[in-house]
Structure formats: structure tokens, C-alpha cells
């Protein structure tokens, strides 16, 4: 079942950016767009939507009062140029708050939140274990987004402007920097050990000198990283 999306924003450029971003996710379907909240409100009276990408500063009815007017709002992701409304909107239980200009990696993080929230509702996972498995979507070519479960990642290797993501069963080439990608990962589970490598902590088989061993391969720990890496690895062990 696809995730049904609605965009409400009075800026045509902002609508086009989100629309183009959504085209990268095959399980998301854009149902309609509106340049004011009144039309969006009327649309929702007769249509079911899973998630709304909602601007705040709009004429007649702003995004915050739009949410307050709904008895049972769908998931809401705020898309605004103003960061001062973040606390107020979180009190309204919005799923995420994106500040314009919205970069694709940050948008992808919001999409991951939608998937995590909706998967148990839509019954896409059949076991409790799968429901709790965190994942990330990565763009592996111009049109295809691939879901990768974080517990399958072994090593992420920098290849200048690209990354090689080594998982238990596959390898993927992604257009990103190691810094940007590492920032998307939970720091309790992953650690950067070198300017060229980020690794999964629980996949480490051995620590020896200035290197770690994963799946029979050795990865050098950079001199500037070694103290933090050893401390985190040792603290994570039982």
C-alpha cells in the first residue's frame, strides 16, 4: 500500500521541490497539491491522506491553525522558512519540522520517519522484530531508492564524492559524502574510524593495535580517531 501524500504551500517553487523529492520514493504517492490551507481543508473532508507536507506562513489560514482545525489529522511534516515555530508545532504532535531550503538528505530522514510510523499501521511487517528494525533509504541510481536495514550494514567507505556501503549481503554505491551519511546514522551503533571509513560497532570481530577486523578484513583506525574509537568500542562491550 502506497503512502498517500498532500502538499500545502503557497510557494510554487517549494511545492515543486517536494514533488521532485517524492518521485524518488516509489512507495509514496502524491495525491494533490494546494497553494492555500482552505482548499487543503476542503479536500480532506472527502479524501484520505497519510501525510501532509505543510507550510506555516500562508494567507487566510496558517499551517498551525490548519492543524488545530483538524479533529484527527494525518501525519504532518512542516516545511517552512522559519525555525521559531518548531516548539509550538511539536506540541501539536507533528512528525518532523523541515526548514527551507530543504536539502535532500534531510528530506530523506523525514521520509524514514514516515515509514517507521506507518509500517505497523499498514501491516507491512508481520513480526515484532521487523517492526523494530531501523532502516534508511539510499539513492542507488537516478530513480531508485533502496531500503537498507541498519543492522545489515558492515562498513561505509568513502570514494571521493561517492560512498560504497558494504552490507551483509550486498554492496551499494551512493552519491554522498561520508560526513553527511554518517550524520544520518545513530551514533550509538556507528562510528567513524578514519577519514575514509565509518563502521558498525557490533560488526567488529576484533580490535588490534590501530585496526579493527570485520568479516575477515582489516580497517585502519586514523591517528586522530584512535582514542575516541577505542573508548567507544570498549564502552559498548559487556
Residues 110 and 15 placed together within one structural domain of the fold: yes
Q: For residue 8, is pLDDT > 50?
A: yes
State mean pLDDT over 155-165: 92
Residues 175 and 104 placed together within one structural domain of the fold: no
State how far the Cα of 216 lies from the Cα of 81, in Å rounded to an integer.
Answer: 48
Question: Which grid cell is 207?
Answer: 580490535
pLDDT of residue 40: 95
Residues 9 and 110 placed together within one structural domain of the fold: yes
- Domain boundary among the residues 95, 122, 149 is at 122
Structural domain harbouring 115? 3-122
State how far the Cα of 25 lies from the Cα of 2, in Å rounded to an integer.
Answer: 10
- Tens-digit pLDDT profile for residues 175-228: 889 999 999 898 889 999 999 999 999 899 888 889 999 988 999 999 999 998
- Domain boundary among the residues 63, 93, 122 is at 122
Residues 150 and 106 placed together within one structural domain of the fold: no
- Tens-digit pLDDT profile for residues 34-44: 999 999 999 99
Task: Please count the residues of the chain.
Answer: 238
Q: For residue 148, is pLDDT > 50?
A: yes
State mean pLDDT over 63-67: 93
Helices 12-22 & 104-122, crossing angle to 10 degrees?
60
Is 225 domain-assigned?
yes
Residues 70 and 27 placed together within one structural domain of the fold: yes
Tell how far CA 142 is from the center of its chain: 18
Residue 85 or residue 120, greater confidence:
85
- Domain boundary among the residues 122, 145, 173 is at 122
- The model carries a pTM of 0.55
Question: Which grid cell is 205?
Answer: 570481530
State how far the Cα of 77 lies from the Cα of 110, in Å rounded to an integer.
Answer: 8
Is 223 domain-assigned?
yes
Is 42 domain-assigned?
yes
Question: Which grid cell is 172?
Answer: 551499494
Instruction: Give the number of domains in the chain.
Output: 2
Is 128 domain-assigned?
no
Conformation bin of residue 93: beta by default, left when phi > 0, alpha when psi is -120 to 50:
left
pLDDT of residue 187: 87
- Tens-digit pLDDT profile for residues 95-140: 889 999 999 988 998 998 898 888 654 444 333 434 457 888 888 8
DSSP code per residue over 144-161: -EEEEEGGGEEEEEEETT
Contact 154, 202 (CB under 8 A): no
Is 129 domain-assigned?
no
Assign residue 67 the CATH number of its domain: 3.40.50.2300
pLDDT of residue 132: 59
Amino acid at each position: 500500500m502506497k503512502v498517500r501524500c498532500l502538499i500545502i504551500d503557497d510557494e510554487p517553487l517549494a511545492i515543486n521541490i517536494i514533488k521532485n523529492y517524492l518521485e524518488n520514493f516509489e512507495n509514496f504517492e502524491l495525491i494533490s497539491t494546494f497553494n492555500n490551507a482552505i482548499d487543503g481543508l476542503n479536500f480532506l473532508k472527502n479524501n484520505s491522506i497519510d501525510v501532509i507536507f505543510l507550510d506555516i506562513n500562508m494567507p487566510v489560514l496558517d499551517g498551525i491553525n490548519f492543524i488545530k482545525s483538524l479533529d484527527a489529522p494525518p501525519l504532518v511534516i512542516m516545511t517552512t522558512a522559519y525555525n521559531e515555530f518548531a516548539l509550538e508545532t511539536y506540541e501539536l504532535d507533528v512528525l518532523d519540522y523541515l526548514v527551507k531550503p530543504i536539502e535532500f538528505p534531510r528530506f530523506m530522514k523525514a521520509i524514514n520517519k514516515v515509514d517507521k510510523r506507518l509500517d505497523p499501521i499498514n501491516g507491512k511487517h508481520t513480526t515484532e522484530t521487523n517492526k523494530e528494525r531501523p532502516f534508511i533509504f539510499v539513492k542507488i541510481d537516478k530513480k531508485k531508492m533502496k531500503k537498507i536495514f541498519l543492522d545489515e550494514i558492515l562498513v561505509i567507505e568513502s570514494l571521493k564524492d561517492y560512498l560504497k556501503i558494504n552490507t551483509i549481503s550486498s554492496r551499494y554505491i551512493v552519491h554522498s559524502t561520508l560526513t553527511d551519511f554518517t550524520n544520518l546514522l545513530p551514533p550509538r551503533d556507528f562510528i567513524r574510524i578514519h577519514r575514509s571509513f565509518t563502521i558498525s560497532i557490533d560488526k567488529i570481530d576484533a580490535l588490534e593495535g590501530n585496526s579493527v577486523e570485520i568479516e575477515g578484513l582489516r580497517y585502519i583506525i586514523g591517528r586522530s580517531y584512535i582514542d575516541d574509537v577505542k573508548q567507544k568500542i570498549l564502552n559498548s562491550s559487556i
